[in-house]
Amino acid sequence: VRSVSGGEEDVASKPVRADAQRSLEALLQAAKEVFAVSGVNAPIREIAGKAGLGVGTVYRHFPQRSDLIAAVFRREIDECANAAIDLAAHHGPFEALRRWMQRFSSFFATKRGLAGALHSGETAYEALPGHFEVRLRPALQALLTSAIAAGEIRADIAADELLGAVAALSMSGNAEPGQVSRMVALLADGLRRSDPG
């Protein structure tokens, strides 16, 4: 709850040996993949096996399942925020924004159970909405600001409402994946200035 720094900083600030950090990374990656396929209640044994670790090691890192789930989501939020930097470095302002909106949308693709978990009252999840806000809003705001400065998009849309809109489109019940990305693409295209100058 008190943690405000990113996941990587948390890890680096502890005296974790390099191999322990590698096993933590492997564990989080394995958990992410298993959760995406089997949901957040998948057997810990399956996650440990995929990471090449013993079940005891998993429980040593994360005594409660909710701790592991929170760590996976936190890492995904960080990865999504960091993707904004990569995209801005490799694409023009509007193109970077357009691609990031799709990247953010894909964040929700395998997270049908996330909303339920966040409202479950588990203390492990308490910091996640704040982390989401602290990392993703500024990431999108920076992309918007660049594209506005370049004259590529309209200037009257706030990062908050755009995050909410992409999330709503991405979590809408019975949409197939292609449908979500087409609708998010419409939203991005709608940002473009129709009256350049």
Positions in the binding site for a second copy (CB under 8 A): 156-157, 161-162, 164-165, 167-169, 171-172, 174-175, 179, 182-183, 185-192, 194
The least distance separating a second copy from the CB of residue 105, rounded to whole angstroms, comes to 12
For residue 47, with 0-12 CB atoms within 10 Å meaning exposed, 13-18 middle and 19 or more buried, which class applies?
buried
Judged by beta carbon, residue 149 or residue 168, the one nearer a second copy is 168
Which has the closest alpha carbon to 105: 189, 8, 188? 188
The least distance separating a second copy from the CB of residue 85, rounded to whole angstroms, comes to 25
Judged by beta carbon, residue 10 or residue 160, the one nearer a second copy is 160
Helix (H, G, I), strand (E, B) or coil at 140: helix
Q: Name the residue with tokens 């400065």.
A: 149
What lies within 8 Å, CB to CB, of 71 at 6+ separation is: 7, 28, 31, 62
Judged by beta carbon, residue 124 or residue 188, the one nearer a second copy is 188
Token readout for 110 is: 């395998």
The answer to whether residues 140 and 159 touch, using CB atoms and an 8 Å cutoff, is yes
The least distance separating a second copy from the CB of residue 100, rounded to whole angstroms, comes to 16
The least distance separating a second copy from the CB of residue 94, rounded to whole angstroms, comes to 11
Judged by beta carbon, residue 90 or residue 182, the one nearer a second copy is 182
